[in-house]
């Protein structure tokens, strides 16, 4: 009988560990890997990022402010939130970088990391394992713009 109880407790611990693992996985399951998103920096000033506080089960801790519940945030910043516009769609890209970086106005950057594709908000929010790389296709963009502009001028001059 003692052996059955020990086996039962062992099985219970295994199930609890599996449940905790699944719960932790569920908290990040909607987070997806976003890679090679081309964003253009339009000059928005970066803001400090304060992560949401999670309880021991991985749930967001809430507090009441001005009569409504909001997610509680850490008092310690974990980086800076930069805002870019996705090339060709103008979808907003918010990315949390661990420190301030020198970005150039109208510069094109390849962005990536773990985050969310928030379709209803027409934006990406990238907050974990973030990467930023400068891209070098300003010349190609200029050529495309030049072709479009010259085509408009030709249409205008034929009238």
The reply to whether 141 falls in a domain is: yes
Number of domains comprising the chain: 1
The reply to whether 152 falls in a domain is: no
The reply to whether 101 falls in a domain is: yes
The tokens for 35 are 């890679």
Name, in order, each residue with C-beta under 8 angstroms of 44's C-beta and a sequence gap of 6 or more: 82, 83
Q: What pLDDT score was predicted for residue 14?
A: 72
Domain CATH number, residue 127: 2.40.50.140
The reply to whether 47 falls in a domain is: yes
Domain that holds residue 125: 32-51+80-145
Facing residues of 94 across strands? Answer: 83, 125
Q: How confident is the model at residue 68 (pLDDT cuts 50, 70, 90)?
A: very high
Q: What pLDDT score was predicted for residue 30?
A: 85
The reply to whether 133 falls in a domain is: yes
β-strand 123-134 against 92-97: which pairing, if any?
Answer: parallel
Between vectors from CA 125 to CA 69 and to CA 52, what angle results, nearest 5°? 35
51-60, 66-75, 84-93, 137-146: lowest mean pLDDT where?
A: 137-146
The reply to whether 115 falls in a domain is: yes
E strand or H helix that includes residue 158 = none
Residues 131 and 149: their CA atoms lie apart, in Å, by: 34
pLDDT in tens, 98-150: 999 999 999 999 999 999 999 999 999 999 999 999 886 545 544 333 333 33
pTM above 0.85, yes or no: no
The reply to whether 99 falls in a domain is: yes
The reply to whether 90 falls in a domain is: yes
């Amino acid at each position: 009988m003692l052996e059955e109880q020990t086996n039962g407790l062992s099985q219970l611990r295994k199930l609890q560990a599996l449940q905790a693992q699944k719960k932790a996985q569920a908290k990040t399951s909607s987070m997806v890997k976003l890679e090679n998103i081309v964003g253009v920096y339009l000059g928005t000033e970066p803001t400090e990022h304060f992560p949401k506080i999670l309880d021991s089960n991985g749930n967001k801790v809430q507090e009441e402010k001005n009569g409504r519940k909001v997610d509680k945030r850490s008092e310690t910043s974990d980086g800076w939130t930069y805002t870019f516009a996705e090339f060709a769609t103008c979808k907003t890209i918010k990315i949390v970088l661990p420190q301030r970086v020198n970005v150039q106005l109208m510069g094109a950057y390849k962005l990536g990391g773990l985050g969310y594709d928030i379709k209803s908000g027409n934006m990406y929010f990238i907050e974990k394992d973030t990467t930023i790389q400068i891209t070098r296709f300003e010349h190609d963009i200029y050529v495309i713009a030049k072709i479009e502009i010259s085509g408009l001028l030709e249409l205008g001059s034929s009238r």
